[in-house]
Structure 1
């Protein structure tokens, strides 16, 4: 048996073991639930002079 025939006999069965990779879109649509509750607290520090001014003249804002 020649080297070429032996090589074909060895490699022929291995040719069927090629991995297959498939990328496909899902059949159902992707749902993203965005129920998000955002709360903020804002703390403002002011000078005592400004705070007194705001208390004395409440009609500014």
Structure 2
């Protein structure tokens, strides 16, 4: 009987370890999407600057 209770306690600890891994994956995805958004904004600024500097009197 006491062995069964020890097994349950070990299972509870294992479950909490799995829960900690999942948010890290979501954070990585969020960071990647934020980075892509920033990269897109920087690219847009660069292209707007090129358009502003473009010599239309060729």
Q: Normalising by structure 1, report the TM-score.
A: 0.36
Larger Rg: 1
The structure in which a higher percent of residues are helix is 2
Higher relative contact order (CA 8 A, sep 6+): 1
Q: Normalising by structure 2, report the TM-score.
A: 0.37
